[in-house]
Amino acid sequence: MSSDRSASFWMLVLNRLRKDWFAIAGGAIVLLLLTVAVLAPVIAPYDPGSVETARLLEPPSADHWLGTDELGRDVLSRMIYGARISLMVGFIAVGIATLIGVIVGAVSGYYGGWVDELMMRFVDVMLTFPSFFLILAVIAMLEPSIVNVMIVIGITGWMGVARLVRAEFLSLKERDFVAAARSIGQSDAIIIFRHILPNAMAPVLVSATLGIAGAILTESALSFLGIGVQPPTPSWGSILTEGKNYIEFAWWLSLFPGLAILFTVLGYNLLGESLRDALDVRLN
């Protein structure tokens, strides 16, 4: 694809997204979360680790907009800093999964034959394991930490990306521009990464956007179970865990982090689905 055609294609995608209210809503949620995460030290009203024993389990008020927890810590401040953790896990975990998936899918689709057969059978074996239980098993053998959570989510979530990239390579490697690159003696690595891969990235971009939502949800579930991000580091899942013991009279500890997870996942899903439609070349 020439640079002019590529620029024209991405302008068409951008115009489609501008006309899609779901894309605008999803993008607004994602942008808001990114802003909150980046500016957490500025906008958080309190230190997320600051304990006030005189203000245990206070409901939402003018001083503490989302109430306090069982140690008197400000829930709003902990949720603001928790946004950092959730987004960091989402981006890094999906980055790891995408990198592995792109390499496996590109090599498999480009070379075909026994290489493709071997790699795809390995992908099939990986897909037979329920992903969440595989993550639980690996995390249980390691020390629970944010680094381990990101790595484990990443190395257990690359199979879908690999299949997408493989399918694109199987189609693109037969195009004239690939034959032209081969005819002038360019190496396989240059053909794969400079010529084919840039044209195969559209479905990968959609998959990564949707994958961030899944990674955030997985991290929250792991933290809720106590094997994810460890205290005192604030995360939405750990706040939910603390809140389940006081749900009968401290409803805010469960409601607000639950809503944060809901809207974050919704935002990325809306943006991902809209991006998928915008990248569909079959649409007028």
Residue 25 lies in a domain: yes
CA distance 256 to 230: 20
pLDDT the model gives residue 234: 87
Residue 283 lies in a domain: no
Residue 149 lies in a domain: yes
Domain that holds residue 136: 3-278
pLDDT the model gives residue 170: 92
Question: For the chain, which ranges sit under pLDDT 50?
Answer: 2, 283-284
Structural domains counted in the chain: 1
Angle between the N-to-C axes of helices 131-141 and 146-155, in degrees from 0 to 180, rounded to the nearest 10? 140
pLDDT the model gives residue 45: 93
pLDDT the model gives residue 284: 47
pLDDT the model gives residue 6: 61
Residue 157 lies in a domain: yes
pLDDT the model gives residue 2: 46
From the CB of residue 128, how many other CB atoms can be counted at a distance below 10 Å?
7
Q: What are phi and psi of 74, to 5 degrees?
A: -70, 120
Residue 166 lies in a domain: yes
Residue 187 has, within 13 A of its CA and on its CB side, a CA count of 3
Residue 222 lies in a domain: yes
Q: 58: domain CATH number?
A: 1.10.3720.10
Residue 263 lies in a domain: yes
Per the DSSP assignment, residues forming a β-bridge with 68 are 74
